[in-house]
Each structure stands twice: as C-alpha cells, then as structure tokens.
Structure 1
Amino acid sequence: MPVSDTPPIADQLCFDLYAASRAMTNAYRPVLHELGLTYPQYLVMLVLWERGSCTVRELVDELMLDHGTLTPLLRRMESHDLVVRRRAAKDERFVEVSLTATGDALRVHATRIHCDMKDALGLGEADFEALQTTLRLLTARVAPGA
C-alpha cells in the first residue's frame, strides 16, 4: 500500500539521470585510476587538451562547476604536476591554467578512453548523437538562467 500518492521512484526522470551519471562515472573510474586522475580532474584535462590553456573562469563555465569546487581540484592537480596556475599577464585578476609536460603526456590516452567508453555504451552513432542532443537540451532547459 503506497504511503503517498507521489509518483514512484521508477517514474522519476531525475533518478534515471542520477543513476546513469553514477554508472558512467563508475565506468571511467578504473581507467582513470591507472592515470592517477579522478573523473572531475579528467574533465579539466579534456578542456585543457582541447584548448591548451584557459582561465579558471572559463573552466568554471565550461564544466559547470563553481570556484569552490574547482579551486581545490586545480590545487591537487598542480601538486601532482599536471597543471600550472599563473596570474594572467594581461589582467592579474584572472588566473590562467595550463598543462605541464606531465599533464600533456596523458593526452595520448584520451582517444582510447573516449572510444572505449563509447563502445561500452553499445549505441550506434545516430543513437549516441541523439542521446547527446537530448541531454544537452535538457541541461540547457533546467540550468539556471535558461
């Protein structure tokens, strides 16, 4: 007998998204552990492998994290010689983050990790792209200011 007339957890999209997110993060964990990276650190590395360097503000925006989460993450990455943080020469109010040689050397693993995870999903290219499109649309609709 139901205690309330709220929809059951099986009907909650929020739970499906939460469970899928946790499952994806857990799928990445073993391969990232071999590289000495956590999943959030891997996301930072992906941005830096793509751009070379960027400001902390750009990382905050790109990864949808707040400064309070990103700053200690970058500090740990810097202590492991993956990134370096410096005040921007043009405007010292900004901190630029760039890869070290050690961080850049991990780039060779990025394509393999991406392809392995894509294969693990078992989705065809069209289904993969449709899922990405749907998730990005959902994010845009529920993000603050949307």
Structure 2
Amino acid sequence: MGLEEHIQEEMYVDAESLLEDEFDRAKGLFDIYDDNTVAIADEFADADAKTEILVRLTAQQYVAEANEDIDPAMGYDSFYDRFEKDESTIRSYFGDLVDDGLVEKAEGKGRHRLVVERLGDVLDRVESTTDDE
C-alpha cells in the first residue's frame, strides 16, 4: 500500500463515521418520526435558543444521513416561530454559533448546517446545559 492509500484509509474521516461514533450520545437528544419530523427530548424542552438550534441541526443531520432526499441545512424561518425572539436575535444566535465553529452557512439565503466534524463539541455543549440544573 502506498502512502496516499495509507493516508486515505487510516486518516480520512467521513461524516457518516463521525455520526456513527456519536450515535449513542445524539439519540438521547431527540426522536425522529416516520415523516422525518423531530421531537426534542423533554430534558431539553426548556433549553436556551442556541441549545435548541444545535439540537435541531444535529437531528436534521441525522435525518439527512438516513434519507438522501433531505437537506441537512435549515433556514432561519424554521426557528422564527419556535422562539419568542425577534428575527434579528435569531440571526444573531446563528452568527454566534458560526463564530464558535459549530455551525456553518449553507447554500441558500439564511440557511445553516451543523459542522459535523465538531459534533462531539456540539454534544458536549448541549449536554452541559442539563448539567447545570
């Protein structure tokens, strides 16, 4: 085996393997129904808006992995009605999560997706919100 093949086989990590590695942690955050809708676990029902955004983007990533017809990105409009905040505040939350390197802008205006390579950090952050209680 040449160096290139060795690197590709041993060092490259794809999104599917990252999602698989964190599956047990992620499955406690939400339920996915047959119609691809998501219900957040009760312990996160009163979480702050940024935490809910992270949970929903994580769920969306798993839904997209299971169904190639589903886009892993979500738009601001998916969150406007969920929170009692004005639209600029919601956009600001996304900006903060982008700055933190946990979320990235996706194709399409106001669309974002999870940075899968940071899934472990996302889950740490989400789980830390319940540790405080």
TM normalised by structure 1 equals 0.41
Instruction: Choose between structure 1 and 2 for higher RCO, CA contacts under 8 A separated by at least 6 residues.
Output: 2
More helix by share: 1
Larger Rg: 1
> What is the TM-score normalised by the length of structure 2?
0.44
